[in-house]
Structure 1
Amino acid sequence: MNNQKETNNGAFIKISEQPSLYNNLEKKSVREILDEINTEDQKVALAVQRAIPQIEKLVNQIVPRMKQGGRIFYMGAGTSGRLGVLDASEIPPTFGMPNTLIIGLIAGGDTALRNPVENAEDDMERGWQELQERNICDKDTVIGIAASGTTPYVIGAMREARSHGILTGCITSNPNSPMAAEADVPIEMVVGPEYVTGSSRMKSGTGQKMILNMISTSVMIQLGRVKGNKMVNMQLSNKKLVDRGTKMIVEELGLDYEQAKSLLLMHGSVKKAIDAYKAK
């Protein structure tokens, strides 16, 4: 079945692959191209806003699962897969969580992060095999990411996951897609045709990144990884982050900078340093 907006005759239209609203791009000036891309990009935040009720529904089901030891698996191919891997990879340094709690899987494996892997996304079975290799269980969540909503690698994994009682969600740029049919909570972010026809790395990719930010950040806040508005569990992986953490402790405890820095380095995170100081 092709993914798309249903018409009166029962066919589906892939909105994400409809012709661009602009033509003769090669004849435009750089300024015209940039202005038109920006005009299209402004539509993305509104499309994401319309999807917030579904994002909320998904997050509210993820949090209790993660509190019981569950994980999130992002699954996608091409741009969508890369964005899932990107969001997952930023969780440990930002929130001090192990890299085993939010996991990005991309069709074709790590090679596909930089290079296309022929036919990888067309393998309906491989996604579920990769989830089984990671001992997926019913506390976990599988979130498929595909602008088209038709990627077999993702659909096959979601279908099997759901049949095993595992929560499934998805992020797509087309309504009523085959991928959404396999999701307990489908997130349909309809951004319209791309500036370059079919180039879903553009508006669709931007919207996917925004939604992934929303999902992971809201989950981490709900799991207590943020205090006030600060990343109190961030990894101290460079001088900039040590300085940022030191200033958080100065602000919270009223210590001088060097005292705060020593305390931070002794305990390894802002939260641990503050808790230890207050426990004296």
Structure 2
Amino acid sequence: MLSDEPARLDRLLHELSTLTTEAAGPGRADLDTLSTIDLVREMNAEDAKVPAAVGARATAIAAAVDGIVERMRRGGRLIYVGAGTAGRIGILDASECPPTFGTDPGLVVGLIAGGPAAIQRAVENSEDDGEAAAAGLAGLGLTASDVVVGISASGRTPYVVGALQHARAVGAFTVAIAQNAGSAIGALADVPIEVVVGPEIVAGSTRLKSGTAQKLVVNMLSTLSMVRLGKTYHGIMVDLQATNEKLKARSVRTVMGAAGVGADEAARALEAVDGSVKRAILVLLTGIAVEEAPAAIERAGGILRVAIEQNGGARA
């Protein structure tokens, strides 16, 4: 086995030399000699390139959102898979969905190479274990109704490759988010989203522009899927979980704004429907009985706008 090491190292060095994410950007030779204010301006200028690069992949992102929505409507889940920064970004997005959109914690899930311990510190060699990713997805009971989103700046991380290979074998819908064109994970995915942001200000530090691009894309995937699934109304969160005083106040303000009522009436409506913003707005705008609201929303597929229309529209 030791005799194979030089050849393996040569192959790896060749692969890395072709990756945009590993390149040193032009004009970086004097980076460590710049003043602090010039460093700030230089890094900000690099970061400003990211939104345009994401926008250039709008069609692919929309296709991914449509695929996620279709699978979720038949009971599927959204599962992010990544190593290091990419894995942490997936877990962050997944963890924000329940409080923001009132989803079950099992609906959007994040897997990271090395397991939960890797969320806070690096777990050596875990990103090279593709079999661990397949085992993790198998442990979740992955089915053809699910969506697996592999995230890897290089586009070649073995853990993510293994996850997408397993997902394809099961028949799940697959998405790849990479920062290099023609990536290995892109070739495995139903929808490749290759957002090429160029060399990092510190060569190879893909927690920077690459990580920002990944965060912007996963924000779109989860948020826009939830919009399509009826988790918003007029651009406001109507399935949020009011788990603290700030969110309770936001619930009252949301009902006030959507239903055109005062704070007291909004608070009473929320109390009557066990804190459900969506049901409170429906009751106030249509006048239907509190006990009828859950079934009305279910008949509308969870979409408040449809439920309002089906129950006589806004109250005069």
TM-score tier (shorter): over 0.9
Alignment of 1:218-233 (within 5 A): 218-233=224-239
Which deviates more from structure 2 when the two are superposed, residues 54-63 or residues 79-88?
Answer: 54-63
Structure 2: distance between partners of 1:253 and 1:182? 47
The yes-or-no answer on 1:211 pairing with 2:220 is no
Residues 236, 279 of structure 1: CA spacing in aligned structure 2 closer, same or farther, 3 A cutoff? same
Identity %, equivalent residues: 43
Aligned to 2:128: 122
Q: Which of residues 285, 288, 294 in structure 2 aligns to 1:279?
A: 288
Structure 2 SS opposite 1:90: helix
Q: Which of residues 49, 64, 68 in structure 2 aligns to 1:62?
A: 68
Q: Deviations over 1:181-205 (max 9, x none)?
A: 1111110000000001100000000
Structure 1: distance between partners of 2:231 and 2:12? 41
Structure 2: distance between partners of 1:252 and 1:218? 20
Alignment of 1:1-280 (within 5 A): 13-21=18-26, 22-266=28-272, 267-277=274-284, 278-280=287-289
Structure 1 SS opposite 2:48: helix
Structure 1: distance between partners of 2:148 and 2:262? 46
Residue type of the alignment partner of 2:103: M
Q: Deviations over 1:163-213 (max 9, x none)?
A: 221111110000111111111111000000000110000000001000001
Residue type of the alignment partner of 1:108: G
Contact 2:238–2:277 at 8 Å: present in 1 too? yes
Structure 2: distance between partners of 1:185 and 1:132? 22
TM-score, length of structure 2 as denominator length: 0.83
Structure 1: distance between partners of 2:185 and 2:172? 15
Structure 1: distance between partners of 2:20 and 2:196? 8
1:12, distance to aligned residue in structure 2 (A) = 7.4
Structure 2 SS opposite 1:268: coil
Residue type of the alignment partner of 2:42: E
Uncovered stretches (5+) of structure 1, i.e. residues with no partner:
6-10
Which deviates more from structure 2 when the two are superposed, residues 22-31 or residues 158-167?
Answer: 22-31
1:255, distance to aligned residue in structure 2 (A) = 2.8
Q: Deviations over 1:130-175 (max 9, x none)?
A: 1111111000011000000111111011012112211111100001
Higher gyration radius (CA): 2
Structure 2: distance between partners of 1:122 and 1:166? 22
- Which aligned segments of 4 or more residues in structure 1 are displaced greater than 3 angstroms? 1-5
Contact 1:3–1:176 at 8 Å: present in 2 too? no
1:254, distance to aligned residue in structure 2 (A) = 3.1
1:26, distance to aligned residue in structure 2 (A) = 2.2
Residue type of the alignment partner of 1:76: G
Contact 2:74–2:145 at 8 Å: present in 1 too? yes
Structure 1: distance between partners of 2:147 and 2:89? 17
Higher RCO structure (Cα 8 Å, ≥6 apart): 1
Structure 1: distance between partners of 2:237 and 2:32? 45
Structure 2 SS opposite 1:79: helix
Residues 264, 176 of structure 1: CA spacing in aligned structure 2 closer, same or farther, 3 A cutoff? same
Structure 2: distance between partners of 1:254 and 1:181? 50
Residue type of the alignment partner of 1:172: A
Residues 270, 3 of structure 1: CA spacing in aligned structure 2 closer, same or farther, 3 A cutoff? farther
Residue type of the alignment partner of 1:237: T
TM-score, length of structure 1 as denominator length: 0.94
Give the structure with the larger helix fraction: 2
1:4, distance to aligned residue in structure 2 (A) = 10
Structure 1: distance between partners of 2:218 and 2:13? 22
Contact 1:128–1:157 at 8 Å: present in 2 too? yes
Structure 1 SS opposite 2:39: helix
Structure 2: distance between partners of 1:36 and 1:228? 38
Structure 2: distance between partners of 1:216 and 1:4? 36
In the comparison of the two structures, how many residue pairs are matched?
275
